[in-house]
Each structure stands twice: as C-alpha cells, then as structure tokens.
Amino acid sequence: MKNKNKYEWNTYTCQPSVDKINGNENIYRVEFVRGDIITLEDIPASLPFGGSSGRWGDSGKSWTYQHGTPIGADVIYYAGYEDKFYHLKVDFPIEEMKKALDTTYQYNDHTKEKFTGLIFGFAPQGMVVVWKEYSVFRIELGRYQAEVITDDKALEKQLFRDWSMNREEVRERDFMPNASSTLWDMYRNRYTFKIVMQNENPNLRLFRYCFTNYNGEKKIIFMPSLPATNYENRALPQIFELDWETSADERFRGNIFLNEKIIFEKFKNFKPEDKQEFEVKVSKDNRKLELFLNNEPVEVDSVRIYRGSVMYEGSY
C-alpha cells in the first residue's frame, strides 16, 4: 500500500447560484445523508458534512484533508427544491486519477500547482459534475447521473430528525416543479477556438491568459513569443483575464466579462470541430480592451483594467 500521506487533497461540494427565490438564496443547495469517496488504497475519504455551497464550480469552503487515490464516489443526498433523495454511485477512470495526482499545472514563472482536490457540483434532475482542482485550476473530470431513491422514508427520518423544518415545510418553501439541468448541460458544450491579441503598441508584452469558463473550469495559459494560443476544444469563457506590460512602469491586468446570452447565441450554430477565433484588442494607451469573434465585435457585460503588480520572467 502506498503511504497514505503521499497524496493529500480536499473535497468540495457546490451548486448553481441564483437570485433569492421564496426567501431562499441557496435554493439549489443539496443536503448529504452519505458522502463516501472510494480510494484505490481503501483509505476512508468523504465529502464535507452538511450541504453544498458556493456557486457552480466553486464551493467557497474548505474541508479536512483526505488521502489516497480517489477512484469513485457513493453519495446519497436530498434536493429540497425537487423534494427527492438521490443516489450517486460512480467509478472514476483509475488510470486518469492516478495520473491526475502526479500532474502539475504552471501558475507563474516559479510555481507549479499540484492536485488539491475534487469538486462535486449538484444541479437539477440528478446531474452531478466533478472537477479536478489544482489550486486555482479547475478541470472537468466528468458529468454523472444520480438516480432517484423512491423508497425514502428511512432517509427522510434520518435527515430531518435534527432540522428546524420538516420535509413538508422545505417543500412548501423551495419546491420547483420545473427544475431542469438543461442550462448546466449547455454550459458543458465545447467548441474549437483560439485567442489572438491585437495591439496598437509595439512595446506590449503579453504574459498570460486566464479562462474562467461557464462550465466551471478555470485554466491559465502562459504565452509563447507570439501572443496567440493554439486551437483547443474548450467550453465557452465567462471571463477572459490577461496580464501585459508596455514598459517597466506600465503593468496591467484586464478582465473581460462576457454576456452569457450573446456569446451562446453566437456559437449555437457552430459545430464542435469548426475553428473559431477570438481577438482581444488593446489600445495604444492601455485604456481600452475590445473583444472580437471572427473579426466581428462582441458585445460584453463589462471590461475592467487594473494596474498590475505581478512580474514575470521577461518583464521590463
């Protein structure tokens, strides 16, 4: 058996976040009856106690460290907004998980992030997405389907025995008869695209792109000598973040917040294998960022430019 402390990681749970409904701002929260993580070494591991939190792909809460190589999950949970108990029993690909624990991702010039945990996301209709986490990086492991438990009286008694509300009261407040996983499945659609930077300042040096995607993934790409990424099959970005310099006194970080309705409308007729090109244009005075798709301007929610503080190898 491997040393149980060789691999040390965390587990997190999350849910979609929405505006407050019927006085409940955590309408999609699920509560756990059981949350076992199966490990290759038979070392006990689990999800956090209690219920889910945060937003899609990001729990916002930490938990005690777990150990071993996670290769599956056996979870029973209650979704109050559907008034249903679900059972998730799933095996993860063993070779992929063994590789995941030995993989690192480059965060900056001097830091590589190791595997730090698994994030479980619970959406309507028993949809469960699991992400591999490497500190700020999130990579989707897979989308899984939990099954409804029809004979749930014993589970109801177990879960609600210490609650201030009973099952009927939860149902009255939270029940959503039309709850659907369609939106979060749409977020998982992947397309082939690259990012190209166009600028009016010959002194500009681009150092990295950071993608925060609608499907919960997050990835950082350090730039080669030319400011363009390779074509890659990706989920659509929710936020583009980029770091650049134009002199030793001019370091910047820019964020482009995309509009969900607009960007998915533009991509709805594209095939996953068709190649698309995003272009980011930076004005000569570093005060303006614009986004284009296949040479056409893209309306976005907002753009923010900050004075940067990070220095890279190759900085002025």
Band of the pLDDT at 1, cuts 50, 70, 90?
Answer: very low
Q: Is residue 315 part of a domain?
A: no
Ordered alpha helix ranges (H), the chain: 94-100, 153-160, 167-174, 182-186, 260-267
Do 132 and 146 have their domain in common?
yes
Phi-psi region of 183 (alpha: psi -120 to 50; beta: other; left: phi over 0): alpha
Q: Give the pLDDT score at 249.
A: 92
Q: Give the pLDDT score at 198.
A: 84
Q: Once rounded to an integer, what is the mean pLDDT over residues 38-67?
A: 92
pLDDT > 70? residue 97: yes
Which stretch of 106-115, 202-211, 235-244, 268-277 has the lowest confidence by average pLDDT?
A: 106-115
Tens-place pLDDT, residues 221-254: 887 555 578 899 999 999 999 999 999 999 999 9
The rounded percent of the chain whose pLDDT value lies above 90 is 77
Band of the pLDDT at 20, cuts 50, 70, 90?
Answer: low
Q: Give the pLDDT score at 2.
A: 47
Do 135 and 200 have their domain in common?
no
Q: Per the structure block, which two tokens stand in for 152?
A: 């749930």
User: β-strand 70-79 against 137-145: which pairing, if any?
Assistant: unpaired
Tell the burial category of 28 from Cβ atoms under 10 Å away from its Cβ (0-12, 13-18, 19+): buried
Check which CATH number belongs to the domain holding 252 and give it.
Answer: 2.60.40
Which stretch of 43-57, 81-95, 173-187, 302-316 has the lowest confidence by average pLDDT?
A: 302-316
Do 34 and 177 have their domain in common?
yes
Q: Give the pLDDT score at 109.
A: 72
Tens-place pLDDT, residues 127-159: 999 999 999 999 999 999 999 999 999 999 999
Do 197 and 170 have their domain in common?
no
Name which of 35, 204, 6 is nearest 128 in CA terms.
35
Buried-exposed string 107-144: b where 16+ CB fall within 10 A, e elsewhere: bbeeeebebbbbbbbbbbbbbbbbbbbbbebbebbebb
Neighbouring-strand partners of residue 100 = none
- Provide the number of structural domains found in the chain: 2
pLDDT > 90? residue 21: no
Tell me how far apart the alpha carbons of residues 170 and 10 are, in angstroms, rounded to a whole number: 30
Q: Give the pLDDT score at 5.
A: 57
SS (H, E, C) 177-241: CCCCCHHHHHCCCEEEEEEEEEECCCCCEEEEEEEEECCCCEEEEECCCCCECCCEEEECEEEEE
Which stretch of 18-27, 236-245, 268-277 has the lowest confidence by average pLDDT?
A: 18-27
Q: Is residue 135 part of a domain?
A: yes
Domain extent for 284: 187-307
Cα torsion angle, 225, 229, 112, 257, sign: positive
The rounded percent of the chain whose pLDDT value lies above 70 is 95
pLDDT > 60? residue 304: yes
Q: Which of 126, 155, 181 represents a domain boundary (last residue)?
A: 181
Q: Is residue 66 part of a domain?
A: yes
Q: Give the pLDDT score at 106.
A: 83
Higher pLDDT residue, 112 or 153? Answer: 153
Tens-place pLDDT, residues 166-185: 999 999 999 999 999 999 99
Q: Is residue 3 part of a domain?
A: no
Tell me how far apart the alpha carbons of residues 2 and 101 are, in angstroms, rounded to a whole number: 13
Cα torsion angle, 234, 237, 239, 241, sign: positive
pTM: 0.93
